[in-house]
Amino acid sequence: MQKEIEVGADGKFTASIIRDQRGELEGIITETSINREALKKMSPQYASNIDGASDDELREGMKEMLDEFKEHPHLNYVLVSYDKSGNREAEAASMQFIGLPNPGASLKMLPGGALKGDLNLGGIKGEGDEATSELTAGDSVNLPPSVLAELASASKTLKILKNDWLNPSKAARVTPWFGYVMTDLASSANKFSAPEKATYNGGGYYIGVNNIDATFGEICPANPSNPGDSSNTPYAATPAKVVSWFPPRDTQSVQNSGQTFGPTRPYTNAAPRYKREEQYGEIACGSDGGQNGLYTRASGNGNKEYQLQLGEYFIGASPEGLWRLKVGSDEKGRWDLAAAAPYDKDGDPIIYIPSIKIVTDNNKATGFEVKFYFFEKGTKTFREVTDAVGLKSLVHSFNMDGSYGITRNGGDLSIESKTIKFDGSVLKATIPVADQAVYPCSNPVGATQCHKSFGFNFHVGAISYRLSISAEGNP
């Protein structure tokens, strides 16, 4: 939800805060016909999805949202100032994220459920893309100092919200992800992994296309000699439309032995060869032997909405500046992904770092548990998070995945958020019996099915963070 606030000539402004949307959402669910306009007002970023869904689909989605609200009932706010010019890029470049002063870092997220009352921010002073009020976090937010420290640090990543302003058409949405890795598989068998051994490796991006004036079939052509082919057999074809994904500066990609892509050499779908296969009940299409790592998936060639990925993950720090998505020469959107980076200028983590324990029984992985840690900048140590109130207000949508040493018909392991529950400050989940296997794999992998890697993901807003435990060291 986005709201513009006009600042008066005297420099003063007021704004109301909605603390809880559950009542409004429950009202929409119980209506005979879904009030789509009210729903789009609550979630304008999903307006096109709301228009295209049936009432039953919307009710199911809202029930899931309501379950999420029951776990995290209060809204959080981010206050941003900018120079209004009518030019979205210039306005985004002028943005300052206003925080409440707190030891170590200012709190850039206002937790609606923990505010002590009306906020009188006082004078606001800024430098670069940050500003601070006279009112402090301790005087206005009813949370323990340890929790305020965690939220002040992690809320820096919410600068990613500038991308909503940069892309008012919502032609596509980009979810950046950042990965930490550990390579000692055995270290997490029945004991929690050490957070200091999690090493930042790189990141990537998922592009959700709403409508960029290019259908699925136009960017990933079918086999000219056998249009219905989904056998994963490579074929040569020419796409009707070329989609390009431009990094803001030269970026080393893991694809093809670390080749470099950049402003003059984008990732594109113009691969010399393609291949298609059935995946999750849809058509998945990708490049074969190309440099660009094309992956896209939809239910049919005419779809205007689909998943899209160009390039594999980048190595090292996220490039500063705007990534641009184009169809031909027509720009469809631009995004600042470095705004969500999980580290500060010294390379120290600013987000929560998970610690994973793989629970085993008779040498088989039967479940997992996850603790979270916060990096104390002053002491250069990791502190275990034992009060999860801040964590629960900022972090959402957990999931765990895993891959096997031997290809299996059931595919890779995936455990979704709804089956992962907090027990105090520790997340816990069971691996279904049919998915359990020996952990960890031996090297080389023997004849017995085994788990060769696990990855834990969690989201902060539109950002995905990941910790992988893998012998290969890939995020």
- Tell me the C-alpha distance between 334 and 174, whole Å: 9
Residues β-bridged to residue 153: none
The structure tokens 């379950």 sit at 67
pLDDT of residue 8: 65
Please tell me the predicted confidence (pLDDT) of residue 412: 86
- Cα–Cα dist 429/440, whole Å: 18
Bridge partner residues of 314 (DSSP) = 203, 253
pLDDT tens-digit map of 137-193: 999 899 999 999 999 999 999 999 999 999 998 899 999 999 999 887 778 899 999
Per-residue pLDDT of the chain (475 residues; tens, 9 = 90+): 555 666 666 666 666 665 555 555 555 555 566 777 777 766 665 666 777 778 777 777 766 665 655 555 457 888 899 999 999 999 999 999 999 999 989 999 888 778 887 788 888 898 999 999 998 999 989 999 999 999 999 999 999 999 999 999 889 999 999 999 988 777 889 999 999 999 998 888 889 999 999 999 999 999 999 988 888 899 999 999 999 999 999 887 765 456 788 899 888 898 778 999 888 789 999 887 655 678 899 999 999 999 998 877 788 888 899 999 999 999 999 999 999 999 999 999 999 999 999 999 998 999 999 999 999 998 999 999 999 988 988 888 899 999 898 877 777 899 988 899 999 999 999 999 999 999 988 777 777 889 989 999 999 988 999 999 876 656 6
- One-letter amino acid identity for 251? T
Read off the pTM: 0.82
Comparing C-alpha atoms, which of 435, 439, 430 is closest to residue 412? 435
Q: How far apart are CA 251 and CA 112, in angstroms?
A: 39
Contacts of 315 (CB under 8 A, 6+ apart): 201, 202, 252, 253, 254, 258
> For residue 232, what are its two tokens?
């994963």
Return the closest-CA partner of residue 212 out of 170, 254, 163, 181.
Answer: 170
How wide is the angle at C-alpha 164 spanned by C-alphas 158 and 167, nearest 5°? 145
Q: What is the mean pLDDT of the chain?
A: 85
> What is the C-alpha to C-alpha distance for residues 71 and 388, in angstroms, rounded to an integer?
12
Say which residues have a Cβ less than 8 Å from residue 384's Cβ, sequence separation at least 6.
371, 372, 373
342-365 pLDDT, tens digit each: 999 999 999 999 999 999 999 899
Q: Which amino acid is it at 299? A: S
What pLDDT is attached to residue 121?
85
Q: What local confidence, expressed as pLDDT, does residue 286 receive?
A: 87
Question: Is residue 358 within 8 Å of residue 439, measured between CB atoms?
Answer: yes
Express each pLDDT in 307-340 by its tens digit.
998 877 788 888 899 999 999 999 999 999 999 9
